[in-house]
Amino acid sequence: MMTWGGLIQAQELSAILGSADLVVMDCRFDLADPHAGARAWAAAHIPGAHHADLDRDLSDHARLGHGRHPLPAAEAMCQWLAACGISPAHRVVVYDAGDGAMAAARLWALLRLLGHRQVALLDGGLQRWLALGLPLDDRPPIALPTAYQAGYDPSLVVSTQQVLARLHETPAWLIDARAAARFRGDVEPIDPVAGHVPGALNRPYTDNLAGDGRFLPAEVLRAQFAALLGDRRDRLAVMCGSGVTACHHLLALHVAGFSGVQWYADSWSGWISDPARPVATS
């Protein structure tokens, strides 16, 4: 069932394609080949879909010390959204190749940060769309001129200084979306330092998914997060390696009924940019 602000199923999106107030965004990205997503979109995409590039459109690499995918400025984000034909009044659907982690959930989170409520992630992504035999197109869409003015909600972002100030707070409140081996510090294939923020909890973002790449039902997610967090229900925050897969937890927690969850967008790669910050391994 479609819930604007959460998830939309492929059949539901197919039924509303072409609506004047709808914009679809293809967010496919491959960390190993940063241009692969754009090539895939150019070859075939959901009809009418624009392309969003994680590095170019959803990050600002000029912001040093804020991790591998720093948040773009709100003004720059708004200018890009307007160029895509998105206004605050539009319904937006975001998708990627499959589970939403690279990087559809990132765009979902950025829009929510701007106060955009009518944004939904295509559950199962392009993989689910193709499995149902739904159509693709290779024609670039036409963006109608529009305007977008908004600012980020500061209550939904947590800074490194705020994380430092809360290190000894209990019960645990910071959830790390990386794979367990990276969280423990057993391996680190991307960042120069292995480990995690002291006191953080680990829940790999893949735990949010059913076997077909779609999200688990809301009641299952709610029970699993409750078991992880114990008595903690408020002032939660999520992180990962660079602030991308953390957004999968933002969406999963939203679907599960948690509100006000904060995004530590700098995440692990931002945390370790200062060697004086503590690191835990276990």
Catalytic (active-site) positions:
240
Neighbours of 161 (CB within 10 A): 8
Cβ burial of 73 (10 Å; 0-12, 13-18, 19+) is middle
- Which residue, chain included where needed, has tokens 């997060």? 225
CA distance 29 to 14: 23
